[in-house]
Structure 1
Amino acid sequence: MNAETPLVLLVDGSSYLYRAYHAMPDLRGPDGQATGAVHGMVAMLKQLRDRYPGAHAACVFDASGPTFRDDWYPEYKAQRAPMPDDLRAQIPLIHQVVQLLGWPVLTVPGIEADDAIGTLARVAEASGHQVVISTGDKDLAQLVTPAVSLLNTMSNERLDEAGVLAKFGVPPNRIVDYLTLMGDAVDNVPGVDKVGPKTAAKWIAEHGSLDGVVAAATSIKGVAGENLRKALDWLPTGRKLVTVKTDCDLAAYLQPWPSVEGLAFKPVDREGLLAFYTQHGFKTWKRELEGQGVAPQTQAEPVRAEPPPPAQDKHYETVNTWARFDAWLQKLQAAELVALDTETDSLSNLDARIVGLSFSVAPWEACYIPLRHAGLDHPEQLPLDEVLARLQPWLEDGTRAKLGQHVKYDAHVFANHGIAIRGYAHDTMLQSYVLEAHKSHSLEALADRELGRKGLSYEDLCGKGAKQIPFAQVDVARAAEYSCEDSEMCLGVHQRLLPRILAEPGLRYVYEQIEMPTSAQLLRVERNGVRIDAAMLQAQSHELGQRLLQLEQSLYELAGQPFNIGSPKQIGEILFGKLGLPVKKKTATGAPSTDEEVLTELAADFPLPAKILEHRGLAKLKSTYTDKLPLMVNPHTGRVHTHYAQAVAVTGRLASNDPNLQNIPVRTAEGRRIREAFVAPPGGLIASADYSQIELRIMAHLSEDPAMLAAFASGADIHKATAAEVFGTSLEAVSTEQRRAAKAINFGLIYGMGAYGLAAQLGIEPKAAKDYIDLYFARFQGVRRYMDETRASAEAKGYVETVFGRRLWLPEIKGGNGPRKAAAQRQAINAPMQGTAADLIKLAMLAVQAAIDREGKQTLIVMQVHDELVFELPESERDWVASQVPALMAGVAQLKVPLLAEVGFGASWEAAH
């Protein structure tokens, strides 16, 4: 947007007051008046005015009473639920505070806020203004032009023409057609039955417009085509109802008209605001207005909550009598959603046992049930086993909605007590991860970020380091405060995050259909564990020890003296001081670097660096795997149980730790031998199933490059097909060297490799590598277009998306320095592919597990490693796994190229490859 172009800022007040009401906790003023929606509106409007201080502006609300659409269609909005009483009571307060903040307010009887906004936008555009419409309403996307854009302050999403096309699959001038086909259930506007966003966008793309779809109605097949033909008489009325009117006469409400000159910001009514903030308990904003607080936000961040009411309004209770327990059990049974938290004696999933439990059913209301405290205060407590027995029916009732922070851990804890908890509907850690994967997802960080609150920390209670005490020894009163805060703040964070997810169809799908089900599935995989042959690993460890001793002698001979192989300083003195090898790069302190990249480069020409690398690799294998894995066998199960961290990698990939089973090196014989120790039980098998060339298939889908699509559709060797295209030859004539070069280009481009990287990999001159890349892009122009468009989109939005709608944030792509920005641009190309692959393997795991359960099979999923699922199964189920698992994995999504999954079997993980 040109900074010199005058700006008009139009706020869809009616959209935002509903969203603010549902996004905010149930906040109350000193007189008990609900103020949550007021909080949200004030925060959003303050942020907008800070961001656009010189703009003309209007906050537009719906007037009460019917509009012209009711005359056209008496059933318009007939099924809309009545406005909640708590929200209706806040409307006068919202109108009052908006005016006190200096915003022009517009409410026009007989038309909707959308129509007033549409009219103002066109008048402003005609007079040379840029227009920003702040809304959460998709209907207003029809107003977007080169001069008009949409801004959603609650999700920080900005939609210009390209953004509308990317989000909805149709350009702004076809949004009316798109809405007409889909209908609008909220406004009770019928569309074509069973036609959703994908079908509507597909039809418009194929036929150009709604008129084109109507003209082709007789040729559209299936149930959708039949439903379209039934709706033909209705569609003109539907189109009228969803079209925003842009020629309303606003002369009675705005002077001069037609003009936007009457929409200048007014000065903030400081005295009026002080009185308003005082009356309704907005303490932070009052202090800010009085000059005691921090400066207003100027960054375009999602609306942050005003801190909730003062602490004296909270009700935290320690439950240590059966009467109070029964009272709280009734609350849990009556509540629509309950936040709960476990306090335990360990962080280990399979070892943790309950010390206490907390529950929250409303803001500032929670209880703590101490069960195994053993401090000096000899606390009065209810018996653990009896409490769990009484809670078990509620805990195992899948119809009782539950909420937590990192619910997989709590589910493990309950499982350790023989309780299979069901009904986990939400997880605030995963909500945060889906919304902003690049930020911290701890409850402490979320409460600060979303609620403006800081609670007690674990260290506040238990201390740090060697002086840290077990939670069971914490004073019960302090433990209750801490645990009640955790469950109650979790509920507050959920009320802030969930509306933002539900407002975005892609994020909602990722959260509801991928991440939440995956959490439950990973619980099963972690508890399954995997068998290892400890004796085999110990034998391998001994062999590696002997190899390392021999290597040390070879290293000393090549160096001409003994030296500490683990010391970078001594290695540097030998390589660069004594032997005079060329210095490739230096550390921050100016010393020659001996990192792996440098040693790898030197190893091509000198034997000592090669031997050092070999020693490092074997030493790491020994210390990380062959020595440690036997020690990590659980004594109760006889298996190794890794922990899958779900909210770590920004791409959506899982991270395995304690032990890390995803980083076992498989490019060396020694690394592959470690997989030989992952074994099946007697009479059983290990199966390994993975996707074939998954990221290249995703690249073909995303880029829609005709040559790539054709290669995968035909089942051709993609690298040979690429070589044939690049080198202008037939598939049969492609040489081994040409295929190797094509493979390096295929995978290199996914990871942002340039000519120098390709040259190093192929051992050719950079000029020749550049020629290869130029030839590639000349033949695969769709890939070039995709890469250029993705980088541009990422710079505009700050993120890229997977096929399923997961957002992959790239903070450095806007504000980073040269190298960091370049790295972010490379990530922008790779992240959608890696992220989509991560989504696919999660969906595959869910689909396979569902089939296992449905058919009563004994097959267990024991590991998930990148694009691979590892199973343990009885020999009798081999044929079922061989036929069903690849089909299930290939069927979890319909891409523009076929998905292909392959499965192998063996007595060990390595033998299954």
Structure 2
Amino acid sequence: MSKPKTLVLVDGSSYLYRAYHAMPDLRAVPGDSSSPATGAIRGMINMMQALRKEQPADYAVCVFDASGPTFRDALYPDYKAHRAPMPDDLRAQIEPIHEVVRLLGWSVLAVPGVEADDVIGTLAVTAATQGVEVIISSGDKDLSQLVNPHITVIDTMSGKRRDVAGVTAEFGVPPERMVDFQTLVGDTVDNVPGVPKVGPKTAAKWLNEYGSLDALIARAGEVKGAAGENLRATLGWLPTGRTLVTIKTDCDLAEHVPTLPALDVLALAEPQPEPLRSFYERYGFKGLARAIAAPAARSGDTASGTSGDLFFSADAPEVDASAVAVQAQAREVRYDTILDWPTFERWFARLQAAPLVALDTETDSLDEMRAQIVGLSFSVEPGEAAYIPLRHEGPDAPAQLPLAEVLARLKPWLEDARAAKLGQHIKYDQHVFANHGITVRGYQHDTMLQSYVLEVHKPHNLASLAERHTGRKGLSYEDLCGKGAHQIPFAQVAVDKAAAYSCEDSDQTLDVHRVLWPQLEADERLRHIYALEMQTSEVLFRIEREGVLIDAATLAQQSHDLGQRILQLETEAYEIAGQPFNLSSPKQLGEIFFDKLGLPVVKKTATGARSTDEEVLEKLAEDYPLPAKILEHRSLAKLKGTYTDKLAQLALPRTGRVHTHYAQAVAVTGRLSSNEPNLQNIPIRTAEGRRVREAFVAAPGHVIASADYSQIELRIMAHLSGDTSLLDAFRHGLDVHRATAAEVFGVAVDQVSSEQRRYAKVINFGLIYGMSSFGLAKNLGIETKAAAAYIDRYFQRYPGVRHYMDETKASAKARGYVETVFGRRLYLPEINSPNGPRRAGAERAAINAPMQGTAADLIKMAMVAVQKTLDAEKPQIRMVLQVHDELVFELPEGEVDWLKTHIPRLMAEVAQLQVPLLAEVGVGANWEKAH
């Protein structure tokens, strides 16, 4: 019996949106924002190429939505009413996408009056009735209603497969009940109402109990509770809802597919090399154009088959990022598992000879200070990698090479700075090797940091990078180890599966590097930022490794004191309320506040309940004692639970030190974030919060020193705006807040009152963060009109600041991003949003991000410069913390004078701005006393 033929149907509308959002802002002329956008086109090519490789087909169609209304709009005017209009730069790419998909060998359909889903439904049912196996490639769950033994929906992006069993498992009902299911649940994306407050679980339960929607409607009177009432109230709507969610399978496609039901016209064709080459050159895809191999150049090769090999050139003399991405999707892989010394020696020779090696560790913990190696993988060529299992266990685990001996053999190469290495999040792997006594040198690249510099607004994990830039999707950790309580340690994973997973990680890392690095090489300013991030990663590794000493006794005393105060506050709150109550219960707070004490209702929640959130408490606390007590109680309880109770527990037993983790690729501004524990959020505005820093101490004979940039963001504002008055204030060493007060209030500098200086300080910092007159009024406790007058006066006195803000917003709208002084790009996806509040938020970020980002660049530059000098001159001084604009050191008491002299100088000299940089140093027995 011959194998049935296959029809692949692509949900082109779903694909093009995915392509648009997954790709960076590519242009036909790189760097020219006025040239046509090409990101969605490039992403679509990637996805269609990958699908063709993964899913053989005899017939293939890519179906798009046609412009204009459909029968559903006539039936229900609010259909899809909430959907945002298609972005203009995506709309402009639709015709080229249709063109290139055809050139790649696919039929393209867009039928007016019906949606792509309806065309897909009609083609799928027509083919299935002829015994053709149908594969629908889409992430749209609505297409699940088409599934039957001959029709399957696959999501190539997530790997999800919806066959009959898959649909039943996912939704709780079989495919033939999916229309009923969708009718009950509704479709928020398309603005189709269902039964109010009926979700997937209730819908599945009803359908399994009653058998069908019609049977449920007939017995609606039996359904109890609020859900039953909502069902009965919606009975008149459900027939319309069912029509809206039902995919048509009988569209008249004769005008578009004249031979239906015969499918020959939809046969998958060969790609067209010369038209493709011309297309690629027209839209700036030079790598793809070069990768098209001329048939004459492929000796002995033919153009037969449907694999797409015709336009891949494996030995193209110049391979750019675009070609790499396409090739990565298409190739076969060769992964080895190293279980004996001869195989080890063969691979070790390859490592030593390779110009760049991608390296990955598999461990038994995510805690980088405790993690131990389970296995190692390497990739030296695209598609070639090896895994060394070292600590796998279990009855089926094979004999493995000894961990200690393998690491001893690898150590000289790992510690050789001349042996170039590459990784994904290399700082973690450095810690893992350090746990085994190995100091890895020679890391030249980190794909996580490459992505962070090039596309800060997107995810930087390897799975996302590989899928986004090479079209590859691989195994996940959960695929191997499971989830939640049933998750097994990596050491218990079967070696063959672990090898496939780890080799794939190293191989994908090498692939991603080959796509991202050329983009960095081509842009000098971004390349400079990437170099800074790589250097910062090394310094952060050193800081994390060193840790900071914790005084557990001090923390214990603070916890005791806080506990006493918290109990006292509870007693005082009970006395004011006249009864005991749960201070954390919004319901009980509402009853006490509004029913018993008669406090005014400030605002209500979305459900109409009287709100007692933080904002309400702060407002009420201005006039009433109980809300003030509750705010203080919450603040102290959080401080106790987050810091004084936990810091000592987080100290590593063997060091007595806390080793915070610095996440380098999180904040879009370039700032570092600290976690486990978070040392950047210690609430230092309160006396109790500042006391926590007393527990950060130095070893005997040593002290703590703090070096902090002074008013760094205001100085950056002066530099960026070039405002004469601001520049003069900083150049002459004036108190900038006093100088601003003198300008705004029209008085001499020496006549400025403390209150006026306070107002000026709020204005200075508020405007940096895009504060409105309303926000300023709230912050100062004055009328909005008065705050607006202050802001107007500020801009009259500092016109350069206003000019900078206006120019920055205009530039951001044109380019989609802003830049720091040193070239870091900060993307603003919502800067041209039709949504007013989102656009306004992006405009505020456009003003502030260059200042925050430049401050982040400066502190990183300072860290690198300081560490370099310490290594050369004072290795006994250790950098132990970085918090905001501050560096914290532990040093011998005899080195205080050197530090006070040289560290401020080094920090001031890392860059030359229009105003001087100033760093101030304090020294003490603990972190708090160093301030």
Counterpart secondary structure, 2:549:
coil
Deviation at 1:816, TM superposition (A): 5.8
Preserved CA contact (<8 Å) 2:707 2:903? yes
- What is the CA–CA distance in structure 2 between the aligned matches of 1:820 and 1:577, rounded to whole Å? 37
Aligned to 1:653: 671
Superposition pairs of residues 678-697 of structure 1, within 5 angstroms: 678-697=696-715
1:153/1:368 Cα in 2 relative to 1: closer, same or farther (>3 Å)?
closer
1:541/1:279 Cα in 2 relative to 1: closer, same or farther (>3 Å)?
closer
Q: Deviations over 1:550-582 (max 9, x none)?
A: 100111111222111111222222223332322
- What is the CA–CA distance in structure 2 between the aligned matches of 1:633 and 1:491, rounded to whole Å? 36
Aligned to 1:759: 777
Deviation at 1:468, TM superposition (A): 0.9
Preserved CA contact (<8 Å) 1:304 1:449? no
Aligned to 1:417: 436
The residue type paired with residue 93 of structure 2 is: R
Superposition pairs of residues 559-574 of structure 1, within 5 angstroms: 559-574=577-592
1:541/1:365 Cα in 2 relative to 1: closer, same or farther (>3 Å)?
same
Deviation at 1:586, TM superposition (A): 2.6
- What is the CA–CA distance in structure 1 between the aligned matches of 2:861 and 2:808, rounded to whole Å? 25
Aligned to 1:549: 567
* Aligned match for 1:718, one of 717, 726, 736: 736
Aligned to 1:709: 727
Aligned to 1:505: 524
Q: Deviations over 1:692-734 (max 9, x none)?
A: 0000000001011111011111111101111122222221122
Preserved CA contact (<8 Å) 1:532 1:640? yes
Aligned to 1:427: 446
Q: Deviations over 1:461-489 (max 9, x none)?
A: 11111111111111100000000000001
1:389/1:697 Cα in 2 relative to 1: closer, same or farther (>3 Å)?
same
- What is the CA–CA distance in structure 1 between the aligned matches of 2:884 and 2:791, rounded to whole Å? 28
Percent identical: 65
Give the root-mean-square deviation of aligned CA atoms.
Answer: 3.3
Preserved CA contact (<8 Å) 1:315 1:365? yes
Aligned to 1:835: 853
Deviation at 1:499, TM superposition (A): 1.2
Aligned to 1:254: none
1:558/1:728 Cα in 2 relative to 1: closer, same or farther (>3 Å)?
same
Alignment partner of 1:305 is 2:325: yes
Aligned to 1:672: 690
Deviation at 1:54, TM superposition (A): 8.5
- What is the CA–CA distance in structure 2 between the aligned matches of 1:555 and 1:800, rounded to whole Å? 49
Preserved CA contact (<8 Å) 1:97 1:276? no
1:277/1:671 Cα in 2 relative to 1: closer, same or farther (>3 Å)?
farther
Preserved CA contact (<8 Å) 1:661 1:865? yes
- What is the CA–CA distance in structure 2 between the aligned matches of 1:600 and 1:280, rounded to whole Å? 64
Alignment partner of 1:909 is 2:924: no
The residue type paired with residue 504 of structure 1 is: D
Superposition pairs of residues 263-274 of structure 1, within 5 angstroms: none
Preserved CA contact (<8 Å) 1:98 1:105? no
Q: Deviations over 1:87-131 (max 9, x none)?
A: xxxxxxxxx96741494899xxxxxxxxxxxxxxxxxxxxxxxxx
Aligned to 2:148: none
* Aligned match for 2:836, one of 810, 818, 823: 818
The residue type paired with residue 900 of structure 1 is: L
* Aligned match for 1:808, one of 819, 823, 826: 826
Counterpart secondary structure, 1:808:
strand
Aligned to 1:90: none
Counterpart secondary structure, 2:527:
helix
Deviation at 1:427, TM superposition (A): 0.5
Q: Deviations over 1:758-784 (max 9, x none)?
A: 112222211111111100001100000
- What is the CA–CA distance in structure 2 between the aligned matches of 1:562 and 1:882, rounded to whole Å? 54
Q: Deviations over 1:396-448 (max 9, x none)?
A: 01111101110000000000010000000011111111111121111111111
The unaligned stretches of length 5 or more in structure 1 are 1-8, 32-46, 58-95, 107-132, 138-151, 155-273, 285-300
* Aligned match for 2:309, one of 252, 275, 281: 281
Aligned to 1:291: none
Aligned to 1:604: 622
Alignment partner of 1:523 is 2:570: no
Superposition pairs of residues 736-755 of structure 1, within 5 angstroms: 736-755=754-773
- What is the CA–CA distance in structure 1 between the aligned matches of 2:901 and 2:274, rounded to whole Å? 67
Counterpart secondary structure, 2:499:
helix
* Aligned match for 2:657, one of 639, 654, 662: 639
The residue type paired with residue 816 of structure 2 is: G
Alignment partner of 1:786 is 2:786: no
- What is the CA–CA distance in structure 1 between the aligned matches of 2:467 and 2:389, rounded to whole Å? 27
Aligned to 2:353: 334
Deviation at 1:275, TM superposition (A): 5.9
Superposition pairs of residues 54-453 of structure 1, within 5 angstroms: 99-101=274-276, 103=278, 278=306, 280-281=308-309, 305-306=325-326, 308=328, 313-453=332-472
Preserved CA contact (<8 Å) 1:338 1:402? yes
Which stretch has the larger CA shift, 733-742 or 634-643? 733-742
Q: Deviations over 1:843-871 (max 9, x none)?
A: 11111111101114311111000010010
Q: Deviations over 1:301-349 (max 9, x none)?
A: 99993363556x2100001111110110111111111001000011111
- What is the CA–CA distance in structure 2 between the aligned matches of 1:664 and 1:309, rounded to whole Å? 47
Aligned to 1:469: 488
* Aligned match for 1:848, one of 824, 845, 866: 866
- What is the CA–CA distance in structure 1 between the aligned matches of 2:414 and 2:277, rounded to whole Å? 51
Preserved CA contact (<8 Å) 1:526 1:644? yes
- What is the CA–CA distance in structure 2 between the aligned matches of 1:498 and 1:336, rounded to whole Å? 15
The residue type paired with residue 713 of structure 1 is: R
The residue type paired with residue 611 of structure 1 is: K
- What is the CA–CA distance in structure 1 between the aligned matches of 2:812 and 2:305, rounded to whole Å? 40
1:680/1:698 Cα in 2 relative to 1: closer, same or farther (>3 Å)?
same
Aligned to 1:68: none
Counterpart secondary structure, 2:411:
helix
The residue type paired with residue 461 of structure 2 is: S
- What is the CA–CA distance in structure 2 between the aligned matches of 1:631 and 1:310, rounded to whole Å? 50
1:501/1:576 Cα in 2 relative to 1: closer, same or farther (>3 Å)?
farther
Counterpart secondary structure, 2:850:
helix
- What is the CA–CA distance in structure 2 between the aligned matches of 1:494 and 1:574, rounded to whole Å? 60
Counterpart secondary structure, 1:688:
strand
Alignment partner of 1:595 is 2:613: yes
Preserved CA contact (<8 Å) 1:759 1:769? yes
- What is the CA–CA distance in structure 1 between the aligned matches of 2:848 and 2:310, rounded to whole Å? 46
Aligned to 2:57: none
Counterpart secondary structure, 2:749:
coil
Aligned to 1:777: 795
1:563/1:304 Cα in 2 relative to 1: closer, same or farther (>3 Å)?
farther
Deviation at 1:584, TM superposition (A): 2.5
Aligned to 2:910: 892
Preserved CA contact (<8 Å) 1:307 1:452? no
The residue type paired with residue 328 of structure 2 is: P
- What is the CA–CA distance in structure 1 between the aligned matches of 2:520 and 2:732, rounded to whole Å? 39
- What is the CA–CA distance in structure 2 between the aligned matches of 1:630 and 1:105, rounded to whole Å? 60
- What is the CA–CA distance in structure 1 between the aligned matches of 2:498 and 2:618, rounded to whole Å? 53
* Aligned match for 1:454, one of 459, 473, 495: 473
- What is the CA–CA distance in structure 2 between the aligned matches of 1:54 and 1:451, rounded to whole Å? 21
Which stretch has the larger CA shift, 757-766 or 898-907? 757-766
Length-normalised TM-score, structure 2: 0.68
* Aligned match for 2:884, one of 866, 869, 874: 866
- What is the CA–CA distance in structure 1 between the aligned matches of 2:499 and 2:831, rounded to whole Å? 44
